[in-house]
Structure 1
Amino acid sequence: MTPAPFHEGIADSPPGAVAVWARAGAVRIRLAWWQGGAKGTVFLLPGRTECVEKYGRAAGDLIARGWSVITIDWRGQGLADRALPDPMAGHVGDFSEYQQDFDVMLAAARQAGLPEPWHILAHSMGGCIGLRGLMRGLPFRSAVFSAPMWGISMAAWLRPVAHVVSALAGPLRYAHRYAPTTGGESYILTAPFEGNVLTTDRGMWDYMAAQLHAVPGLALGGPSIAWLRAALRECAALAARPAPDLPVICAMGSREKVVDLAPVHLRMAHWPGGELDIYPGAEHEIMMEGPEVRRRFFDRAAALFEASRP
């Protein structure tokens, strides 16, 4: 591992962040951590398009409750290596690639001496990656999911042909094209706040947008057709397996429009020791909602982590 840049000013994070480059095979990824608490370590797994700076305030919320934090730029986003000539296209060929990144994250945490026990806090696509990690038996004692991507929400007209469209990822000339209804622009930088599907809080919306204005290289557009195919396959594969045996909270906003709700409700209905926690009026990004929602979310997460300590 070698030192990597971390934009503390736009992250609004606690002091003392350590950022490093690490290798997942031939791919360079970025990790950041804060050794801010001795209770244990929270592995904060971001969603698609996100970067470590976006979770600077979340790191502060967790550190204030006694936990150390480590987070990651998954391959293809943030400052990690991007696979395609078009850097705005989010792309992987298979979701097992993210598990390679996850393994590197665990190895880095061990090397840095981040305190145990370890817990997962995963948002959106990070929830898909985190669930697969738990099913692989990675050493976590509990998990909190925020709007996990266990299914992909898509327009009604696209659902019947989604798998046909994703099959176009086979021929190389189609695999790298943007998935239908998406393109090379950042949603946060182009969508108006009014009517957005991420947050109801203007301050947090401006916080996310300011990061991308300040460091344009952090921005990401839509996914490739290959990413869509890989995501559909991974969601289907996860749905076919039973829930891991560990305590879990799954937080969802009542106005969720980004991930498919049905697989989340089905999974949580059959998760022993699992709880589905609905936030009235909240959108997709619960950690980017207003102060009251965020306080409730991090209090509940910290209580679960505390209860799961040896």
Structure 2
Amino acid sequence: MEEAKFYSELAEGPSAANAYWTQTDDSVRVRVGAYQAEANTAHKGTILLMLGRFGYIERYGRVAKSFAENGFATVVVDWRSQGLSDRMAKDPQAGHINDFSDYQKDVAAMMQVVEELDLPKPYLLVGISMGACIGLRSMWEGLPVAGAAFISPMWGIKMSVLQRFAAWPLSWAAKRLGQGRRYVPGETGAIYVLETAFTENNLTHNEVMYEYWVNQAKAAPELQIGGPTMSWLFGALLECRRLSSMPSPNTPCITFCGELDQLVDNAAIKTRMVNWPNGEFCIIRNAKHDVLTEVPEIGGDVMSQIFDFFSKVASKGAS
């Protein structure tokens, strides 16, 4: 590992934080961030924070600070084509992936950093949106987590019947014809939080958090990406379909989704959670996509519920 650039002032996270460069098995350089738990707390484990398609290490610095204050270290990876990790297309703004399974190589690289830093166990997964899709696959492939919390998991993409009817053949054909790096129709390289007013955003009702993301995007546009490519879309649709046919793990899990979510398919989430052993499910009324950052009067205190859940998981593991 080598130390990597880290925007600590933009992250506003725990004081003990570092970022590292590491290589995946297919020679992609990815950036992994590690936030340490606060020194004056009882260390309860390490949260493997898997973010969504816009995610990068600094984006949830404030969330990592809350984790640290409650005794948890946090490790997070910039997925390939995101943050400061290698971009997979000539257009650095493109949210591109050659194959969805490539994300598992990024997970493996992240876990190498966790082991090298000797971060405390148990390991606990927090997956947000696309990160929940990646994380669920990782759990089936042996990710050693004692429990999981999912936020608006991308186990299905919200589309109209007509959109879904068109998305499959168009994305498949684009990939087959060597056009997979083209943006999905209607998408561009524009940075969402800079192009979308707070009053029109589909992420959160929390204006303070939205401004935090806007400030990050203005100060470090190199961390941002634009819309997804056709290859990403085909890979995401295919992965969601494959996951839907697989049983839920026995690992204890709690999942939250927003009633007003416009990005993921809440019906697919509910179907998964109804059949999850040791699973808890909560729909947050009037919440948008990012329920972890919603205002308290809408989201309540999702963070406290996650901490309580993980505490129960840890106590069962110790007994």
1:124 is aligned to 2:125: no
Aligned to 1:146: 151
Aligned to 1:34: 35
The answer on whether the counterparts of 1:205 and 1:288 sit within 8 Å (CA) in structure 2 is: no
What root-mean-square deviation, in Å, do the aligned CA atoms of Structure 1 and Structure 2 show?
1.4
Partner Cα distance (1:56, 1:289) in 2:
16
Unmatched tracts of structure 2, length 5 or more: none
1:5 is aligned to 2:5: yes
Partner Cα distance (2:22, 2:298) in 1:
34
Aligned to 1:247: 252
Aligned to 1:16: 16
**Equivalent in 168, 176, 180 of residue 175 of structure 1:** 180
Aligned to 2:109: 104
Partner Cα distance (1:201, 1:94) in 2:
34
The answer on whether the counterparts of 1:73 and 1:79 sit within 8 Å (CA) in structure 2 is: yes
Report Cα offsets for 1:237-294 as digits up to 9, x if no partner.
Answer: 1111000001111111111111111210100111111111122221101222225667
What's the offset of the Cα at 1:155?
A: 4.3
1:70 is aligned to 2:71: no
1:190 is aligned to 2:191: no
Aligned to 1:83: 88
Partner Cα distance (1:191, 1:158) in 2:
22
Unmatched tracts of structure 1, length 5 or more: none
Partner Cα distance (2:296, 2:18) in 1:
26
SS of the residue 1:103 aligns to: helix
State which drifts further: 165-174 or 279-288. Answer: 165-174
Partner Cα distance (1:156, 1:9) in 2:
44
What is the TM-score with the length of structure 1 in the denominator?
0.97
Partner Cα distance (1:272, 1:44) in 2:
22
Partner Cα distance (2:161, 2:93) in 1:
26
Aligned to 1:136: 141
What's the offset of the Cα at 1:160?
A: 1.2
What's the offset of the Cα at 1:181?
A: 2.4
What is the TM-score with the length of structure 2 in the denominator?
0.94
**Identity over the aligned pairs, expressed in percent?**
38
Partner Cα distance (1:34, 1:100) in 2:
21
Aligned length: 310
* Letter paired with 2:20: V
Q: Within 5 A, what are the aligned runs for 1:244-283? A: 244-283=249-288
What's the offset of the Cα at 1:295?
A: 6.6
Partner Cα distance (2:206, 2:161) in 1:
28
What's the offset of the Cα at 1:69?
A: 0.8
SS of the residue 2:182 aligns to: coil
What's the offset of the Cα at 1:194?
A: 0.9
The answer on whether the counterparts of 2:23 and 2:29 sit within 8 Å (CA) in structure 1 is: yes
Partner Cα distance (2:197, 2:183) in 1:
22
The answer on whether the counterparts of 1:248 and 1:273 sit within 8 Å (CA) in structure 2 is: yes
SS of the residue 1:138 aligns to: coil
Report Cα offsets for 1:196-252 as digits up to 9, x if no partner.
Answer: 110001111100111010001011111110111111111111111000001111111
The answer on whether the counterparts of 2:202 and 2:289 sit within 8 Å (CA) in structure 1 is: yes
